[in-house]
Amino acid sequence: MDILASFQQANARLDVVVGETPEMVLKSALLGIRDGAVRNSIAPRPEGWSKLLVLVQTAASSQTAGDEWTVIGEVSEVRTDDISHLVISAGAGIRFVLNSPKGATLTYVLPRDDIPRLQEALAKAGEMIFAP
């Protein structure tokens, strides 16, 4: 697995990761959040990754000032024993809330200035998982 981009704030970190392991039938991309030693991730199928790209684009264009957040949308994994669920909100940056039945609920707030780098990493990951 290769980390395309990492974003760090205090103990919390958001990662965009791609890779292919011997047991994987498909190339995979994931978005992971770590808070100290606790971590969780979501690895949507290509159609879910496309939705993630659209939600991040919408959140990027829906920035506001202040402490209010507006939920933009959600993405869930499919065909796995531990279905991760990601909620994306727009405000003064982009807020990611990630949970799964077997993992912790984690939140990461990406500052407005980091949005272009995140979009670039997500797009690159998308290109990699959609490539033949």
pLDDT along the chain (132 residues), means of 10: 91 91 68 94 89 96 91 91 94 96 93 96 88 70
Whether the Cβ atoms of residue 109 and residue 9 lie closer than 8 Å to each other: yes
pLDDT of residue 23: 56
- Count of structural domains within the chain: 1
The domain spanning residue 49 has which CATH number?
3.30.2450.30
| Amino acid (1-letter code) at residue 22 | P
* Distance between start and end Cα atoms, the chain: 18
Q: Which of these, 39, 59, 56, lies nearest to 48 by C-alpha position?
A: 56
Its domain, for residue 16, covers 2-130
